[in-house]
């Protein structure tokens, strides 16, 4: 799996944060979904058949794996914070 890091202006971050909060997502998840959507749109413009459910199966599995991994990492970070506060 790959990791993508990028910088945005303070104003753009506020917009991203507001969007994330209103959808009940983390900022990272909100940005991840936006990046995936952008990649899918690009592939559709290139003529790939994104309406085929078989195309989506591996994509959805990969998204689920990333979400599961992120949940574990967030839980681990929260545990470390709690332990350091006691």
Read off the pLDDT of residues 50-76 as tens digits, 9 standing for 90 and up: 777 787 788 778 878 877 887 788 888
C-alpha to C-alpha distance for 12 and 10, rounded to whole angstroms: 5
pLDDT over 70 (residue 79): yes
Q: Is residue 28 part of a domain?
A: yes
Inside any domain, residue 5:
no
Of the pLDDT bands very low, low, confident and very high (cuts 50, 70, 90), residue 1 is: low
Structural domain range at position 19: 10-85
Residue 24's pLDDT is 87
Per residue in 4-27, pLDDT (tens digit) is: 888 999 999 999 999 999 988 889
Residue 67 lies in a domain: yes
d(CA 78, CA 15): 25
> Could you give the CA distance from residue 36 to residue 81 in angstroms, rounded to a whole number?
31
Q: Is residue 4 part of a domain?
A: no
* CA distances for 82 relative to 68, 75, 76, 78, 79, angstroms: 21, 11, 10, 6, 5
Domain contains 26: yes
Q: Report long-range pairs for 34-38 (Cβ below 8 Å, ≥24 apart).
A: 35/4, 36/63
Q: Would the pTM count as exceeding 0.95?
A: no
Q: How many domains are contained in the chain?
A: 1
Q: At what angle do helices 27-45 and 10-23 cross, to 10 degrees?
A: 90
Q: Is residue 1 part of a domain?
A: no
């Amino acid at each position: 799996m790959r990791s993508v890091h990028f910088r945005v202006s303070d104003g753009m971050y506020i917009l991203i944060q507001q969007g994330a909060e209103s959808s009940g997502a983390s900022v990272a998840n909100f940005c991840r979904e936006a990046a995936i959507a952008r990649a899918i749109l690009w592939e559709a413009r290139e003529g790939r058949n994104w309406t085929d459910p078989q195309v989506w199966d591996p994509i959805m599995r990969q998204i689920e794996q990333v979400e599961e991994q992120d949940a574990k990492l967030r839980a681990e970070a929260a545990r470390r914070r709690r332990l350091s506060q006691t």
